[in-house]
Amino acid sequence: MARPNVHETWTVLEHGPIAKVTENLWRVEGCVPRMSLRRVMTLARRDDGRLVIHSAIALNEEEMQEIEAWGTPRYLVVPNGWHRLDAPAFVKRYPDLEVFCPAGARKAVEQVVPVAGDYSAFPGDDTIGLEHVEGTNAYEGVMKIRSADGVTLVFNDLIFNMPHQPGFGGFMMKLMGSSGGLKVTRIGRLMTIKNRGAVRGCLERLAETPGLKRIIVSHHRMVAEGAADALRGVAATL
């Protein structure tokens, strides 16, 4: 039986160039099949040269070789059960990859790839760490990356930063409350949030992260300025 909603082989869809955000943080945007969404892969390089890949996207061979020259792919973060499209292909390409996912998403992720552990088991270091977002029943989490210029928080589907899009697909995204800037979407509230107060408190705590520089989300735009205030603003809507 075919496994659901995944690419078993290396399947390259439309994607943009690698954005080299900092000395240890790269980011790539790509398309989502049959949707107007843009998905985001975040790559973080540990001090030991090993790479953490968050929400994998299969890229053209030239870009993949550039990534491999930068560091050794070692950890694959599948940030929930909906972000597993290219996970099997990455595991096939890099047999030594260890897969980590939020505890609440483990059953869905294990349908397509073996999972080494949840976010609490991730072997973090002074540069990169994972933690669950409180109030989501451990279905969503956040990755913290410390760089020379400050700290980056990488969220998944809990927070969107999608501008309004053209066409019918864009109209539907606007109608569902998914577009229009940094926010917790209506779908995010329904599918992700189990305790609104706990999520609000978690986001407020994360907004106080010393040296917070930027926010990356798994769909669309990065917040590169005023990250702490932006996150407080999102928390205030809950």
Query: What separation in angstroms does the CA of 211 have from each of 6, 81, 199, 228?
Result: 37, 31, 21, 9
> What's the pTM value of the predicted model, to 2 decimals?
0.92
What does residue 97 show for φ and ψ, rounded to 5 degrees? -60, 135
Q: How confident is the model at residue 1 (pLDDT cuts 50, 70, 90)?
A: very low
In whole angstroms, give the CA distance from residue 206 to residue 158.
14
In whole angstroms, give the CA distance from residue 178 to residue 181.
9
In whole angstroms, give the CA distance from residue 131 to residue 142.
6
Which pair of tokens denotes residue 119? 């976010």
Which residue do the tokens 């955000």 mark? 21
**Residue 177: pLDDT over 90:** no
123-173 tens-digit pLDDT = 999 999 999 999 999 999 999 999 999 999 999 989 988 666 667 666 555
For range 12-32, the mean pLDDT: 96
**Residue 5: pLDDT over 90:** no
204-220 tens-digit pLDDT = 999 999 999 999 998 88
CATH, domain range 19-236: 3.60.15.10
What does residue 201 show for φ and ψ, rounded to 5 degrees? -65, -40
